[in-house]
Amino acid sequence: MDNEDVKKAHELDCQIQNLLLKATEAREFSYSPYSNFKVGAALLCQDDSIYTGCNVENSSFTVGTCAERCAYFKAISEGKRKFKAIAIVAMQKKWFTPPCGACRQLMSEFGQLDVYMTKPRHDDVLVSDLKRLLPYQFEVTDDKTFE
């Protein structure tokens, strides 16, 4: 990521600033007794509705889920399929926390969107999009033949 990808939060659109706040609120519901690494996500749908999620851990580590997938699953279970943006807020003070590979792949299933990642204080926001975070992603087509 380049320095020009980092924006000041107060310079972003009000809708995106709100999305970052919703992700921060969702982070507080994190169930992360093993890592103590709380993550919150807020997903902006095409119709401007917002679905939030937090990471949920389990003592059987692979059973847990990330905040991004939690938000997506909530939205999808309510019939949403088109998304504009996602905001991700974690606990790291020095680094931005991007979505993991599994989250990136799930997100790509539902099309491109903007990705906003910020640190706990919201000073700086790393702005990207799914195509940059997951180049060469699987193509989703309606074609059911594999030629």
The string of pLDDT tens digits covering residues 125-143 is: 999 999 999 998 887 666 6
10 within 8 A of 17, measured Cβ to Cβ: yes
What total number of domains does the chain contain?
1
The token pair at 24 is 């921060």
139 is catalytic: no
Q: Rounded CA gap, 37 and 5, in Å?
A: 25
Q: Which of 25, 28, 57, 68 is catalytic?
A: 68
Q: Is residue 140 part of a domain?
A: no
User: Average pLDDT, stretch 102-124?
Assistant: 94
pLDDT, position 58? 95
Any binding-site annotation on 45? no
In a domain, 110, yes or no: yes
Instruction: Say whether pLDDT at 2 is over 80.
Output: no
Domain membership of residue 49 (yes or no) is yes
Residues 6+ apart with CB under 8 A from 131: 112, 137
- How far, in Å, CA of 6 to CA of 145, rounded? 42
pLDDT computed for residue 95 by the predictor: 92
Q: Quick check: 84 and 112 in contact, CB under 8 A?
A: no
Q: What is the pTM of this model?
A: 0.91
DSSP per residue, 17-81:
HHHHHHHHHHHTT-B-TTT----EEEEEETTS-EEEEE-B--SSGGG-B-HHHHHHHHHHHTT--
Domain that holds residue 86: 3-133
pLDDT at 65 over 90: yes
Cα separation, 65 vs 105, whole angstroms: 14
State what percent of residues in the chain have pLDDT above 90. Answer: 84
31-51 pLDDT per residue, tens: 999 999 999 999 999 999 999
66 is in an annotated binding site: yes
Predicted pLDDT of residue 138: 80
Average pLDDT over residues 81-106: 95
70 in a labelled binding site: no
Whether 144 is in a domain gets the answer: no
Of the two residues 144 and 107, the one the predictor is more confident about is 107
The CATH number of residue 92's host domain is 3.40.140.10
Q: Averaged over 17-28, what is the pLDDT?
A: 97
pLDDT of residue 22: 98
> Does 145 reside within a domain?
no
Question: Is the confidence at residue 144, as pLDDT, over 80?
Answer: no
In a domain, 39, yes or no: yes
* 143 belongs to a structural domain: no
Kindly state whether residue 147 falls inside one of the protein's structural domains: no
